[in-house]
Amino acid sequence: MVNGHFRGKVYTKSVEILEDGRLEGEVSAGEFTIQKGGVFLGNSKNVTAEEVVTIDSVTKITASQNNSDKGNDKKGKVEQCA
């Protein structure tokens, strides 16, 4: 789930950009959902479950307050769900 600003490459079974989310980059996913108000700038590729590597742990990333204060990024969260 993306509910904030994320820039980079994403390889996963499914991606959802929420209403306040913005994803810039490359997405390789089996399912790709963008809620009304969400923004996607980049390239996407549909992949099968067999092409996605399963990881043992999940990392939650929260944007730092300093980044948000620069006016470049919205304060938000990016989560990877198995």
State the residue range of the domain holding 31. Answer: 1-49
The band of 80, judged by pLDDT with boundaries at 50, 70 and 90, is: low
User: Is residue 77 assigned to a domain?
Assistant: no
Instruction: Give mean pLDDT, residues 6-26.
Output: 93
- As a whole number, mean pLDDT of residues 17-30 equals 95
**24 domain-assigned:** yes
Q: How many whole angstroms separate alpha carbon 71 and alpha carbon 1?
A: 22
In this prediction, residue 68 carries a pLDDT of 47
Q: Give the residue, 30 or 56, on which the prediction is more confident.
A: 30
To the question of pTM greater than 0.85 for the whole model, the response is: no
Q: Could you say which DSSP state residue 37 is in?
A: T
Judge whether 81 lies within some domain.
Answer: no
The answer to whether position 41 is within a domain reads yes
Residue 71: is its pLDDT beyond 60? no
Phi and psi for 58 in degrees, rounded to 5?
Answer: -115, 135
Domain count for the chain? 1
